[in-house]
Chain A
Amino acid sequence: MKKITIDPVTRIEGHAKIDIYLDDAGRVADTHFHVTQVRGFEKFTEGRPYYEMPSITARICGICPVSHLLASAKACDAIMTVVPPPAGMKLRELAHCAQFVQSHALSFFHLSAPDFLLGFDSDPARRNLFGLIEENPDAARSGVALRKFGQEIIEGLARERIHSSWIVPGGVNAPLAAEVRDRTLAGLPAARASALRTLEFFKGILDRFDQEIASFGTAPTMYAGLLDDGAGLQWYDGLLQFKDAGGKIVATDIRARDYAQFIGEAALKDSYLKAPYFKPVGYPAGVYRVGPLARLNVADACNTPEADRELAEFRQRCGAPAHSAFHYHYARLIELLHALEKIELLLSDPDILNPHVRSHAAVNCLEGVGMIEAPRGVLIHHYKVDETGAVKWVNLIVATGHNNLALNAGVAQVARRFVDGTQLKEGMLNRVSAVVRAYDPCLSCSTHAGGTLGMVVRLIGPDGGLLDEIAG
């Protein structure tokens, strides 16, 4: 048995490594996806006051801190047994949509577009944002501008783009300024046009990636996502639904506090990322996926006109449910458009400027669960506290965790399809990394990641001798 190691997987949010085991004929026999660091938020927060949890847990992830702030604040709302004032809820949702814009733009343009625009097999030294800046500056500028648009909304609301203390238990701590609303509305048409252009462009190049689409984690799985009463997308406050691989509803209207009846967690011996599974089916068969692809598979509609038009075309092109992980990119771009439409709807509501944005209360319940859709999928914060409000117990299930089992299967499938151990090429391994990229895993969220020095790929013979090596 020979082993190839991709370490780290590049252009993902965090570091991970992949081991690929080859049989004596050089065919892929097995793969392992390792997440390589853990920080222990679930333990070191014990004893802290619950109202510190949003600020502490935001530091789980600098890419989607708003997600953790929201899930945490919602868990705290439940502990205080309060409902934030309507404007507070709307402002939270506005920040959330802005985060979808910046995070989806980052995933598509900064991390994955180099594969599409420069090529999976292109020079790895240039296959990145900076290569894109030189070779396709318009695409790079679009990505930078869309990400900036989302970040500026967050900055306008919260004063800081990253790790602000604006989202608090009970609501938010400052209302929206009219000039921020007006400035954002003025910038929306350009942002929407850019998102639409990107979608058109991506649809135009889909045909070039037939082979990737056909092998990027295509195994049917269940899907999970949050929905409103009418089965439309609801990122901030929906109820959880699971659909099976054929698109049939298997569990629905699951409230945050009931998540543990449906989601179990398993420990893996070779990864710091735990593997959630659908409890009624059991482990390890209860594989499900979350995130943009899963949300579009679970939802009946986006409930914004442009995104719904795109969704109809998506279903036509990719099927319903769509199973190839490559289509995460496509789904992400539709969601980017939806987020921009949603921002306009929220800002057009006169109540959005209402200064009453926060409810106050003390501990009224010793347990609280907050559940939202982070850009990468369902995020759950579950806290238990004592009467003084000191945290006694914490469980966090992050988006990328839900995808852990499917991601492992996707890595194996791509490796089997593209990696030829008798004649190793860098582009083969880039595709294995690319399936990970399609999921846009947030390994920062997952536990966080460390990683090691650079990517070195070694082919080790059965006797332990070095047969081949690719290194910088």
Chain B
Amino acid sequence: MPAEGLPAEGLSAAIRAHGAVALDVAIDVAPGQTMALVGASGAGKTSVLRAIAGLMLMTGHVRVGGHVWQDSAAGVLVPTRRRRIGMVFQDGALFPHMTALENIAQAMPGDTDARDRAAALLAQVQLAGLENRRPAQLSGGQQARVALARALARDPEILLLDEPFAAVDRPVRRALLALVAQVRASSDMPILFVTHDMAEAAASADTLCFLVDGHSIETGPAQALLANPSSRVRRWLDG
């Protein structure tokens, strides 16, 4: 059940965690909206994504697409494999012993049409013809495309992008961001996007969430926040 007053199919999360980075973050992303998590290295951006994916211990709640994935108060904890997540990891995390096609098909366990659907997804990310290449035989940009296709293969309820294109040069990154924009235009799933590149965040996101030391210091519409930053955000931007 979606929580009262929250978007029916978006993301609502309140995350508290104690670990390498202590987190105390509340996030709401409406359906079809993209939020960029921005902050310095070690601010907890990746940890927020990992908490939503169920890859680290946290308390609080995570609700996505009307489903409760975690609610510590009610004792609900859905394991990662049962959460319909599309996640692109920082280094791609492609399975090195598998071809591009097999990598994507891994996200569709038990699906009899997995290979056909994986081939269609490869075509969607403009990699038709490279089905049988292994990750080591692909460029950084091509690996990022395969990782994006794999993330989309589960028909996810949320897309989590952890600095997915950090390892590619600017022209390739622009092309990849255009691909994400296409996905965004054709789906109403929320997208959460980690970056430390303000220009990229401003160009790709509807809302921004500034993280400092595991706390969200400011959240709001991207254009408004950047046009008229609060003193705390300005301090962070300056420094």
Q: Do A and B come from one complex?
A: no
Listed in ascending order, the chain A residues whose CB lies under 8 Å from chain B are: none
* B interface list, Cβ under 8 A from A: none
